[in-house]
Structure 1
Amino acid sequence: MITLPLVALLALVAFGLVMWGDEKISGILVGVVLGLALATTPLGPPILHAVKVASETAIAAISAVVQ
C-alpha cells in the first residue's frame, strides 16, 4: 500500500511542475502516478465519494434549471 508521505511528495512535485511551466510529459506522468498513488491510500474512497456527490449535485442543479 502506498503511504501518505509518498502521495504528499508526488503532490508537491506535480504542483512544482505546474507552477514553473514544465508541464510536458513529465507533468503528465507525475499526475498519473499521483492519482494512482492517492487511489491506493485510505483517503482515495472518501475523495472519490465526495467528487461523485458533487458532480451528481451539479448535474441535478443544471437539469433543474434547464427544465
Structure 2
Amino acid sequence: MLSIPLVLLLGLLAFGLVRWGKQKVSGVIVGVLFGLALASTTVGPPILSGLNSLSNSVVRAFSSAVQ
C-alpha cells in the first residue's frame, strides 16, 4: 500500500539517522520489526488508512492554496 518513493525516503532517513549518530542501528532494526509486526495485525490497516487520508487532506489543502 505504501508507495516506493515513500519507502525509499524513510529508508534514507533511517540511514541518515544512523550515519549522523542520532540513532543506533539497533533502534532502526527494532523500528523496522515493529512496523512489520504492526502491519500484520488488525490495527495496521486502519492506521495506514488514516495516514493516507491525512496526507490526501494536506495535499488538497496545498493544492487549493496554490490555485
* TM-score, normalisation: structure 2: 0.65
Between 1 and 2, higher relative CO (CA 8 Å, sep ≥ 6) is seen in 1
RMSD, matched Cα: 1.6
Structure 2 regions of 5+ residues with no counterpart?
Answer: 1-20
After superposing on structure 2, the runs of 4+ consecutive aligned residues of structure 1 that deviate more than 4 Å are none
Q: How many residues align?
A: 47
TM-score (norm 1): 0.65
Q: Taking structure 1 as reference, are residues 64 and 22 closer, same or farther at Cα in structure 2, changes over 3 Å only? A: closer
Gaps in structure 1 of 5+ consecutive residues? 1-20
The share of aligned pairs that are identical, in percent, is 49
CA distance in 1, matches of 2:42, 2:23: 28
After TM superposition, give the deviation of residue 38 of structure 1 in Å.
0.3
